[in-house]
Every structure is written in C-alpha cells, then in structure tokens.
Amino acid sequence: MEILELNNLWGEVKAKLISELPENAHPWINPLEVTGYDNGVLTLVTGQMMGRDLLKRNYYQSIVKVIKSVTKNPDSDFVIIFDENAAKSLKKENERLQKKVNAAIQKEQAMENLSYMQSASNLNLKYKFENFVVGKSNEFAYKVTKSVAENPASKYNPLFIYGNSGLGKTHLMQAIGHYTIFKNPKLKVKYTKTEDYVNDFISNSRNGIDTVENMSKFNKKYTNIDIILIDDIQFLESKKKTMAQMQHTFDTLYNKGKQIVITSDRLPKDIPTLTSALCSRFEMGLMVELTSPDKQTRVDIIKKLAKDNSFVFDEDAVEYIADNFSSNVRELEGAFNRVSAYADVSSEPITLSLAKKVLNCSINEKEISIPKIAEVTSKYYEVTTEELKSSSRNQKISMARHMAIYLTRELTGQSFVSIAEYYEKKHPTILFAYEKIQKDIKINKKMAAAAREIKQALKVI
C-alpha cells in the first residue's frame, strides 16, 4: 500500500477510534503511527509501551471492529509494536509529507491568487511574452518591453509604444503585466484602456455631493499601484479637465517611482488634442515603434498559431496567407482563424486551394494562365513546352508535366477538365498527376522546394 494511501486509511481509522473510544484512551491512540496494512493486518507502532498494553488489553475488540468497518474486510486485525526509533522516523516521514502537501496547497493558492490578480488587473491571458512571436519588426520593442517587465521603473520610464493598429501594442503591454504579477505577486498592476479611464473620470466627477470622496477613490484606483498600463492614449479626450487629471495621475505615479507604460497609434507630437505638458511627459522616457511584420515573422506567426491550436497547414497554405495579409497581425490572425475554422468543420486538409477558397483573395491570379505555368515549369526542368504537352514517358519530362498540372490546379483553380483540354490528356491522367504531386510534396523536400521555386518564378510568392 502506498504511504499516502496507508496514511489515509489510518487517518480514517484513527478518527473513528477517537470518536468511539472513551477519552481516557485518546492519549494512547494519538501517538500511534501506521507502518503497514498487509493481509488485513494493520501494523501500528508506538513509542509508549504502556499505551500498547492498555489498548490491547482494554480495547482490542473495539479497535478491530473499527478497522473492519473502515477496511470493509471482515478478517481485519491489528498489531501494535513498541519501537521508539521506528516511531520517530515515521514521524519524520509524516512531517516531510505534510510539508509537501502544504507546499502544494500553497502553490495552488498562489496560482489562484495569480489568476485573481490577472483578472483584477484587467489582463487578457493570451497576451503573454511566450505567445508573442519575435521578428525583425518587433524585436527592439520586445526587448525593451521585456526589460521593463524585469526591472520596472528603472531604465525606461515612461515607456511609450506606438504603431499602427493590429501590430501587437496591447499584447506587448499586457505581457508586462502578466510577467510582473508572476515574478512578483506583491506588485500591483493596472491595465486600462484610455477610454475606460476617461469614462471613469467623467462618471466620478459628475456625481455632485460625493465629488471629493469619489475623486479620492478615483485617484487611489489609478495611483495606488506599481505599474500602470494605459492603452491607446490617442483617445484621450481633449477636455481640459481630463487632460489635467491624466497629468495628475502621471505625475503622482512618476514621482513615486512607479512604472508607466503607454501605447498609441502614433507619436505624442502627432496627437493633436494632447496638451504640450502631457506631450512632453510622454516623450520623456523611451518611445519604441512596432512596424508591420516581415514575411518570415508572418510565416512564424501562422505556424505558431497552427501548432498551438493543433492544426496542420500545408507549407504553401501558410505562404499564401502570409503573402496576402502582410500589414496587420490582427488580420493575419483573422485569416488563420477563418481557414482553420473551415477546415475543422469540413474536416478537409489545409491546402493552398482550401486557403484560397476560404479567403477568396486573389494574388495576381489573372496573370497566371495555364500556358504561363507550362512555360515557367518547362524552363525550370529544362524541357520544352512541346515535350511537356507530349506523351513522352521520359522521367524528367513526365516529372515536369506532373508538376505543371499540379501547380495549374493549385494556382488557377481551373477544373481538371480544362487542364486536360490544354494538355490533350484524359481527365483521370490529370487527376492522377495532381494527386501524385500533392502527396509527394509532403514527403519529398526536394519536390516541395521545386514547387516553391517555380511559384517564385511565377511571382506568386
């Protein structure tokens, strides 16, 4: 029997004994330790010789009855062994276990606290550093943000993150919050959208008689913290009172040595409504820009999303999405979501043609004709277009033909019948070629590379 299981069994027996036996037996029961339960016999150890003898003499039947009722074994019995050392070492083991259990409880408590703090701070669980894909366009912003999270209010205060919509400003900003709470649960973090801050301020300052009290509550809420994360400051109302309040919040926190992080879709000087006092404050620390992700980062983001959500995307489906959603990560994610949701519902594999069908966006498709693909593919394989269209079974020629047919279907979405017409072949032949390459590409890297290079030559990627 496992020690924990054994302890549980004994715990139950002991509790029953305490409740059923008279009080004067308790001092002998309490120090008993359990060491085993084999073949229905419960072995107990005590460091008290008198306890062993008294229990056996006066309560033998009652104890057996209790053990039987707990173990549900009618043949139960027990022995009590006197052993001072065994009792001691068992006690140690029990203490060790208890410590372990306490630590587990504490950890659970800490996790509970953590999630409570995360929701109290207004943070979205998805926006953590580990979910942020780093690439050229955001590397600097990422590093700076991470450094602020590691050492708040030391180097970069305030930190001003700016850039177009959908590039990860909110994500990075909230990542600071998660990181801080995790590393140092004592620190208070507050994330607020500028809009919510403004509305909160307006509703508090409007309430007639309670104004002073309300305002002090408001101030406490936004200044009795260690890190404030103010999102989308471009939405700060141009009213004098709101500006003054923001300045007050900023100054209070700054003077207390607290970290301030602000985001905006543009630089402070380009926000026309901002007072010059606020503008100069926001410019005081470090300003970092997030720019549109480069191709590699876009590909990495889709791949990470696919991995995290257990979807398998064909390489060219990833490429296709990355090529068509190049300026905004939110839209890139949206495209990923649409394609994966469709694949999930239809149980179709995520191929280029599926991505195209779902996203319905055209990438110079009109320019990619069947003859154009034939021409570029024959050049790639160093065969002529006549050979490509012929019935030659020469390995190089039929390879080129199959690839051209596959690419035609993938890139133009033309029916197999029209492709068959162009190649003057029967429909099943075309279907066979398409399916063969589709399969081979997945397992043959050289072939996948060939398909990619031809697409590059066709300027579709």
For ligand ADP, the closer CB: 93 or 289:
289
- Residues 389 to 448: which contact Mg ion by CB under 5 A? none
What does 168 bind: ligand ADP, Mg ion, none (CB cut-off 5 to 8 Å by kind)? ligand ADP
Q: Residue 166 or 268: which CB sits closer to ligand ADP?
A: 166
Is residue 170 near Mg ion by the rule CB under 5 A? yes
Which of Mg ion, ligand ADP, none lies near 298, with the C-beta cut-off 5 to 8 A by kind? none
In the complex, minimum distance from the CB of residue 216 to ligand ADP, in angstroms, rounded to a whole number: 32
Nearer to Mg ion by Cβ, of 164 and 214: the residue is 164
Cα 383–chain centre separation: 49
Contacts for 371-379 with beta carbons within 8 Å, 24 or more apart?
Answer: 371/422, 372/458, 373/404, 373/407, 373/408, 373/411, 373/412, 373/454, 373/458, 374/404, 374/408, 374/422, 376/454, 376/457, 376/458, 377/403, 377/404, 377/407, 377/454, 378/404, 379/457
- Out of Mg ion, ligand ADP, none, what residue 364 binds, judged by CB under 5 to 8 A for its kind, is none
User: Considering beta carbons, is residue 169 or 298 the nearer one to Mg ion?
Assistant: 169
Q: Please report how close the Cβ of residue 232 comes to Mg ion at its closest, in angstroms.
A: 6
| Residue 293 beta carbon to ligand ADP: minimum distance, rounded to whole angstroms | 7
CA pair distance 398, 377, nearest whole angstrom: 12
| Residue whose CB is less far from Mg ion, 25 or 290 | 290
Query: Tokens 């019935």, residue?
Result: 391
Minimum separation from the CB atom of position 159 to ligand ADP (A): 14
Q: Which residue is nearest to Mg ion (CB)?
A: 170
Judged by beta carbon, residue 170 or residue 249, the one nearer Mg ion is 170
Token readout for 54 is: 């008294």
Binding site for ligand ADP (CB under 6 A): 126-127, 131-133, 138, 165-171, 301, 329-330, 333
Q: Whose CB is nearest to ligand ADP?
A: 168
Q: Which of Mg ion, ligand ADP, none lies near 389, with the C-beta cut-off 5 to 8 A by kind?
A: none
Picked from ligand ADP, Mg ion, none, the partner binding residue 138 (CB below 5 to 8 A depending on kind) is ligand ADP
Smaller CB distance to ligand ADP: residue 52 or 190?
Answer: 190
Between 370-381 and 395-412, two packed helices, what is the crossing angle to 10 degrees? Answer: 140
The CA-based dihedral angle spanning residues 268, 269, 273, 275, taken in that order and rounded to the nearest 10 degrees: 90
Answer yes or no whether residue 48 interacts with Mg ion by CB under 5 A.
no
Minimum distance between the CB of residue 288 and ligand ADP, rounded to whole angstroms? Answer: 12
Shortest spacing between CB 234 and ligand ADP, in angstroms: 11
Residue 301, contacted partner among Mg ion, ligand ADP, none, CB below 5-8 A by kind: ligand ADP
- Of the pair 131, 247, the CB lying nearest ligand ADP is at 131
Least separation in angstroms between CB 164 and Mg ion: 10
Give the shortest CB-183-to-ligand ADP separation in angstroms: 21
Smallest separation (angstroms) from ligand ADP to the CB of 174: 8
What does 211 interact with, of Mg ion, ligand ADP, none (CB < 5 to 8 A by kind)?
Answer: none
- Judged by beta carbon distances under 5 to 8 A according to partner kind, the member of ligand ADP, Mg ion, none in contact with residue 333 is ligand ADP
Shortest distance, CB of residue 167 to Mg ion, whole angstroms?
A: 9
Nearer to ligand ADP, 129 or 182 (CB): 129
Q: Which residues bind Mg ion (CB under 5 A)?
A: 169-170
